[in-house]
Homo-oligomer: A and B are copies of this chain.
Amino acid sequence: MNKLNQREVQNLGFLLNFPFHWTGMQRRTSKRVWETRYVVKKMRIPEATVMRLAVYSRLLENLQKRDIVTTSSGDIAEGAGVSPAQVRKDLAYFGEFGTRGVGYNVEELCGHVRRILGLNQKWPSVLVGAGKLGSALALYEGFNIRGFHIVGVFDVDPNPIGNRFGSIKVLPMEHLERVIKKENVRIGIITVPAVAAQEVGERLVKAGVKAILNFSPHVINLPADIIVRNVDFSLHLEVLAFNLTFELTECEDVGV
């Protein structure tokens, strides 16, 4: 590999269009000659940062609707319930979007955040499991608004087959692979009972799905390159219940 200097490494990062950091390492090539190699590392973005960015994007959309032109890290922080430093840090992973002394242009920043999150494109998705929850999700407008179009709903049970959700109808599992290929689906949503979740997950991955939103209470084991999010509702209720019981025995610093 060629030797690059700091400036060239930075430019490389910019060209490749990803958040990065570089480190210089000195190495002795002969008794008196030291060589400095620069290494570009892709920066790991904390998951919490991504979640917050999704919240910021909502706030920015609201500001846009209300025709507000300029905002600040303080405003955003207040709306999202975090600190202004946090907001600036989150954004700093991806670039410089503001003007010192002035703030951020709402429309511009909104566009940047949406681009970062990948919301400037359509995400065709499939949903497996047309039970109560699956049906509600298939009809949920919230997904469409943000670019997540459910292009196929599937079920093993012959009962719901043929039911319509808007323009799409429930299909038997045999068609799963065909639809995924045809529509270039990369996101799968699982709303089947716990026992079937693992099997469905594996089948989705085999058919080409790269990311899975798992609503079933079963944790799925899939290859490391597949992105899985477990979003079982009762998990959240349990965290609430824990906090409620735990608060009861709460005890401020007790000097004794």
Contacts and interface: CB of A to CB of B under 8 A. Distances in A.
A182 to B, nearest CB: 19
A229 B51 CA distance: 13
A180 B145 CA distance: 34
Contacts of A53: 242
Contacts of A229: 236, 239-240
A221 B40 contact: no
Each complex incorporates copies of this chain amounting to 2
Contact of A237 (B42, B148, B246): B148
A241 B123 CA distance: 8
Contacts of A38: 256
B118 A244 contact: yes
**A17, A143, A210, A233, most chain B CB atoms within 10 A:** A233
B240 A227 contact: yes
A interface residue count range (under 10 / 10 to 19 / 20 to 34 / 35 or more): 35 or more
A235 interface: yes
A136 to B, nearest CB: 3
B133 A239 contact: no
A221 B58 contact: no
Contacts of A121: 245
Given A42-B253, A140-B233, A148-B241, 16 more contacts: A37-B255, A37-B256, A39-B253, A54-B239, A55-B219, A58-B219, A59-B219, A81-B221, A116-B242, A117-B241, A135-B136, A143-B237, A146-B237, A211-B244, A213-B236, A231-B233
Interface of A: 1-4, 8-9, 12, 16-18, 37-42, 45, 47, 50-51, 53-55, 57-59, 79-81, 116-119, 121, 123, 125, 132-133, 135-137, 139-140, 142-143, 145-148, 186-187, 194, 210-211, 213, 217-219, 221, 225, 227, 229-247, 249-256
